[in-house]
Amino acid sequence: MEYILNQEQVAIQQAARDFARVELLPGIIERDNSQTFDKDSLRKMGQMGFMGMMVPEQYGGGGMDTLSYVIAMEEICKVDASAGVIMSVNNSLVCWGIEAYGTEEQKRAYLPDLATGTKLGAFCLSEPEAGSDATSQHTMAVEMDDHYLINGTKNWITNGNISEVCLVIAQTHPAKRHRGINVFLVDKGLPGFVVGRKEDKMGIRASDTHSLLFSDVKVPKSKRIGEDGFGFKFAMNTLNGGRIGIAAQALGIAAGAYELSLQYAKQRRTFGKPISEHQGIQFKLAEMATRIEAARQLVYKAAWMKDSGKNYINEAAMAKLFASEVAMWVTTEAVQIHGGYGYVKEYHVERHMRDAKITQIYEGTSEIQKLVIAREILK
């Protein structure tokens, strides 16, 4: 397992770091307050190649490996986890799902715009009664002559309002349960496709999260991905890769909070000296650095396993479980190190703490990750 970054990966890391500090840091508190993401920044992310990093060059993407992607994710999320989740969904779930399982026609129709950020994608799996239990799909896709009619509701959809294409998971054959589920490419603007309410979230507030409503939405059969009944397997396989992206997001949130804390501890003085010279603060910083490095090794290993064509289900689950727990712990300690200043928005660490929590929940809760890990190690 070789994690020493090559020259190209170092360049990607620096480019992502510079972009985050120059383009994303200004106005980040205002975006968090207003719950909006700047369209110009989104366009620039596409121009920089951050929206389709692993998409093959023939479809307009960067043709990069997973390790390059998680390196960029970490740097973006050190500053703006909302930008990170927009990037993660488009890369890990939407682009990868289409590239891995779509037909050549589907790839050529959708990937070039998605990979360049000209259009955004959304991954529509969760429902009011289908979160951790993804088999309980109540959104129905009834098969007709040459199309499907989709009816139902999807909840907690990242990019729900700003996306132009959605991967919609729906049940076609209820008697077959998870083997009767399909996945469809559904374009925005189709009759009966309505964007529902926007969620008022605790964290990652600048990324839009909406409910999506489907009422007799007519989708051609050519928009189904894979064979009839492939939808659940598609969702699970795609989420396995998506967890690496969320693990990288959690790693970035933790690393960003740590870097702010290290800088603050060197500047803030109490009892006649910087607080970094107090043993209590030193111990906090030491444990932060250690946990972050351990999380980074897990994330890099999962990326390496995926790039090597190996079974990475266990490694992806471990990376997400551990990195999300580290993110929550580190950001809480970061607020503590900052004291009263940590509780106000100007110093950024309170936002990192709010952003960290969701990494323990979406794309599989920590409890689900433990089930996945247990299943894998007991085989």
CATH number, domain containing residue 51: 1.10.540.10
Q: Are 90 and 61 in contact (CB under 8 A)?
A: no
Q: Are residues 362 and 269 in the same domain?
A: yes
Total domains in the fold of the chain: 3
DSSP 203-251: SSTTS-EEEEEEEEEEEEGGGB-SSTT-HHHHHHHHHHHHHHHHHHHHH
Q: Are residues 184 and 307 in the same domain?
A: no
Q: Are residues 224 and 144 in the same domain?
A: yes
State the burial class of residue 187 (Cβ atoms within 10 Å of its Cβ: 0-12, 13-18, 19+): middle
Tens of each residue's pLDDT in the chain, 379 residues: 556 889 999 999 999 999 999 999 999 999 999 999 988 999 999 999 999 999 999 999 999 999 999 999 999 999 999 999 999 999 999 999 999 999 999 999 999 999 999 999 999 999 988 887 888 899 999 999 999 999 999 999 999 999 999 999 999 999 999 999 999 999 999 999 999 999 999 999 999 999 999 999 999 999 999 999 999 999 999 999 999 999 999 999 999 999 999 999 999 999 999 999 999 999 999 999 999 999 999 999 999 999 999 999 999 999 999 999 999 999 999 999 999 999 999 999 999 999 999 999 999 999 999 999 999 999 9
Residue 2 located in a structural domain: no
Hunting for tokens 């800088």 — which residue is that? 263
Q: Are residues 342 and 360 in the same domain?
A: yes
Residue 1 located in a structural domain: no
Distance in angstroms (rounded) separating the CA atoms of residues 220 and 232: 20
Q: Are residues 279 and 345 in the same domain?
A: yes
Distance in angstroms (rounded) separating the CA atoms of residues 91 and 317: 18
CATH number at residue 334: 1.20.140.10
Q: Are residues 114 and 127 in the same domain?
A: no
Q: Are residues 262 and 372 in the same domain?
A: yes
Determine whether 57 is an active site residue. Answer: no
Q: Are residues 228 and 129 in the same domain?
A: yes
Options 277, 350, 363, 367, the catalytic residue? 363
Q: Which domain holds residue 294?
A: 239-377
Distance in angstroms (rounded) separating the CA atoms of residues 64 and 11: 13
CATH number at residue 179: 2.40.110.10
Residue 188 located in a structural domain: yes
